[in-house]
Chain A
């Protein structure tokens, strides 16, 4: 049986009257790399802070490594790496000073060589103060600090936000270093679906505080499809196919975004609707995510001009 390292049950958080996380039931098994995706304000940061016990839930609970998040002991925290949103570190400290500070909290696990190698790989001088580092360099220091104690579970809150493509790649390669170590679990939130596609084997989608998907990346990619159907006369008025997410009509074409609908059903429906032909279009993860989280009646920008 797969061990669950992160579990939430009905996790809910209100900020005043605003619902940030809505009854989230999530389970993350050991050893997976989980991309935690959602639009801006979807509730990713709040969910992560709830999991780490930095926020108190309005209802529900969460557990990390079997320990309730609201009562994480120092011993459990020692096993969890955390990269904060925006890589907020003590600005007055030097990289070396920060290493020394952080090492004191992981006396047995801290890997000096690993930290030194990462800092060298990122080409960062240890004497440099954090306040003099760029956003990308702070991200690199932050990652090195989180990885050097060799955590069992690494949680990262939008670690590649604001980084350029080259730095992002370096960052992801650093992350892969951890992934190479067996039994390590990573949960990272991101807006950049390309990053998630590159390193994750599992995807969790949150939308307006609601958990919309929690499955393997492969399952997610297989499940969401775009089908373009062509009709000889006009498109049917009613589209009643299972798993319909969105439907876009033109004069003789129907563009459907479907979830969990197998090819056989699509073929059957196309025949019954009188389509001349149809084709299943391959979607990348970003398109799939946008279609998956877009509201049913979403309008395109400048749609009003087309009237």
Chain B
């Protein structure tokens, strides 16, 4: 009852931002998907390839269409993570509502869990559902000549998870009382940057492991800081 009340409140605070992220990704991603099938260089030749044709190396460099929307998904995800982190953890500082939120018949773990759950739901509802929708649309045989791979679909979820990592990083930066350059988040941010830059060279399993470790470290730090922090 108390958790669900807190969750509803946190979700309501997320709502405008999750809608914005969804609209941006739907509009841009949808636009890209809509235009791409008419790109002669992409689809036209593929539709005329017969089993007897000799394919050049150039022809083989074509990628699944869904990959074109990837950067937009990553941008939307990081943007959403940043905004939700600010909304959930920085704004209560500015508006000084932490004492009002914390003094109630719910412990701090419950209050924090509600915020994190709301953020997870926001990511899944806005970007996750859309990504699934795009994948489903792109997989239909009559739409695109080049088949969509499961790898591309999983890569999308990695981008969504990176947005959640940014959310956790923003949360920790709001809760930490140390100087920015002495915080553990500084090191973690560096690590995140390194992860992002090496994403393309990693195997999916490697990327997942790195993100899972990052999320686990950030979560344990956030819980520890939140439970001991002064408001």
Complex CA gap A89/B96 in Å reads 9
Q: List the A residue with the shortest CB-CB distance to B5.
A: A104
Set of chain B residues within 8 Å of A49, measured between Cβ atoms: 99, 230-231
Would you call A105 and B99 a contact (CB within 8 A)?
Answer: no
A121 CB within 8 Å of chain B: no
Complex CA gap A74/B111 in Å reads 12
A29 CB within 8 Å of chain B: no
Q: Out of B12, B13, B100, which one reaches A84, CB within 8 Å?
A: B100
Would you call A54 and B100 a contact (CB within 8 A)?
Answer: no
Would you call A89 and B231 a contact (CB within 8 A)?
Answer: no
Q: List the B residue with the shortest CB-CB distance to A48.
A: B99
The DSSP consensus for interface residues of chain A is loop
- Interface 1/0s, chain A 270-289, versus B by CB < 8 A? 00000000000000000000
Would you call A74 and B105 a contact (CB within 8 A)?
Answer: yes
Would you call A91 and B231 a contact (CB within 8 A)?
Answer: no
Set of chain B residues within 8 Å of A89, measured between Cβ atoms: 97, 100
| B94: min CB distance to chain A, Å | 10
Q: Which B1-39 residues have C-beta < 8 A from chain A?
A: 1-2, 5, 9, 12-13
| A20: min CB distance to chain B, Å | 12
Q: List the B residue with the shortest CB-CB distance to A155.
A: B103
A56 CB within 8 Å of chain B: yes
Would you call A84 and B99 a contact (CB within 8 A)?
Answer: yes
Would you call A88 and B97 a contact (CB within 8 A)?
Answer: yes
Would you call A55 and B100 a contact (CB within 8 A)?
Answer: no
Set of chain A residues within 8 Å of B12, measured between Cβ atoms: 92
B198 CB within 8 Å of chain A: no
**A104-B1, A107-B1 known; A88 and B100 CB under 8 Å?**
yes
**A84-B99, A91-B95 known; A56 and B1 CB under 8 Å?**
no
A80 CB within 8 Å of chain B: yes
Set of chain B residues within 8 Å of A77, measured between Cβ atoms: 103-105
| A152: min CB distance to chain B, Å | 13
Set of chain B residues within 8 Å of A101, measured between Cβ atoms: 5, 9
Would you call A106 and B9 a contact (CB within 8 A)?
Answer: no
| A237: min CB distance to chain B, Å | 51
Q: Out of A54, A74, A107, which one reaches B107, CB within 8 Å?
A: A74
A27 CB within 8 Å of chain B: no
| A111: min CB distance to chain B, Å | 16
Would you call B9 and A90 a contact (CB within 8 A)?
Answer: yes
Complex CA gap A91/B96 in Å reads 11
Q: List the A residue with the shortest CB-CB distance to B101.
A: A90
B196 CB within 8 Å of chain A: no
Complex CA gap A107/B4 in Å reads 14
Would you call A92 and B13 a contact (CB within 8 A)?
Answer: yes
Question: Count of A residues near B, CB < 8 Å?
Answer: 26
**A54-B231, A55-B230 known; A105 and B97 CB under 8 Å?**
no
A78 CB within 8 Å of chain B: yes
Would you call A90 and B97 a contact (CB within 8 A)?
Answer: yes
**A101-B9, A104-B2, A105-B2 known; A88 and B105 CB under 8 Å?**
no
A75 CB within 8 Å of chain B: yes
B193 CB within 8 Å of chain A: no
B102 CB within 8 Å of chain A: yes
Complex CA gap A55/B13 in Å reads 26
Q: Which A86-126 residues have C-beta < 8 A from chain B?
A: 86, 88-92, 101-102, 104-107
Q: List the B residue with the shortest CB-CB distance to A100.
A: B5
B48 CB within 8 Å of chain A: no
Of A52, A82, A89, A104, most buried by chain B (CB within 10 Å of CB) is A104
| B7: min CB distance to chain A, Å | 11
B106 CB within 8 Å of chain A: yes
Set of chain A residues within 8 Å of B231, measured between Cβ atoms: 49, 54-55
Set of chain A residues within 8 Å of B1, measured between Cβ atoms: 104, 107
Complex CA gap A82/B101 in Å reads 11
Q: Which B75-115 residues have C-beta < 8 A from chain A?
A: 95-100, 102-107
Q: Which B198-231 residues have C-beta < 8 A from chain A?
A: 228, 230-231
Q: Out of B9, B95, B99, which one reaches A54, CB within 8 Å?
A: B99
B-side residues, CB < 8 A to A, are 1-2, 5, 9, 12-13, 95-100, 102-107, 228, 230-231
Q: List 6 A-B contacts (CB under 8 A).
A: A74-B104, A77-B103, A77-B105, A78-B104, A78-B105, A90-B9
> Which 10 residue pairs are nearest across A and B when measured between Cβ atoms?
A104-B5, A78-B105, A74-B105, A105-B104, A88-B96, A82-B103, A105-B105, A55-B230, A84-B99, A88-B97
